[in-house]
Amino acid sequence: MSHSEGAPLLFGYMRVPDDMTDEEVQQKQADMGAYAEVEGFTLATVFHEFMNGGINVFDEMAKAIQHVEARHVIVPSYRDLALTRPLQDAMTLHLEQATGAQIVSLDERS
């Protein structure tokens, strides 16, 4: 992933359930990369959450955001944060308050 000079950094976050194929993972990453390019961001890295219901990687991402002072996160869907809307909202609010970063979803809110 190349870094465009002066382009703000964008972090990706996605859950990878056991039944997701490598091709699906690659496609979602490609979609996030395409969004970044079109919107003038540099996709720094994509964080993958493998444990269903876990938030360990989410916390790692929040620390990385604070370290580089990034302000944007992209997810394939808000369902990558959580299955229920109240938990999606809570995780979004937590990230915004802890880091100042905004979450953008490639899909409409589920």
Specify the residue for token string 């219901």. Answer: 53
Contact present, 96 and 65 (Cβ < 8 Å): no
Q: Write the burial class of residue 21 (CB in 10 Å: 0-12 exposed, 13-18 middle, 19+ buried).
A: exposed
Give the model's pLDDT for residue 108: 66
Query: What distance lies between CA 97 and its chain's CA centroid?
Result: 16
Q: Which two tokens stand for residue 11?
A: 């972090």
How does strand 102-105 pair with strand 72-75? Answer: parallel
- Tens digit of pLDDT per residue, the chain (110 long)? 444 568 899 999 999 998 999 999 999 999 999 999 999 999 999 999 986 656 689 999 999 999 998 899 999 999 999 889 999 999 999 999 999 999 999 986 44
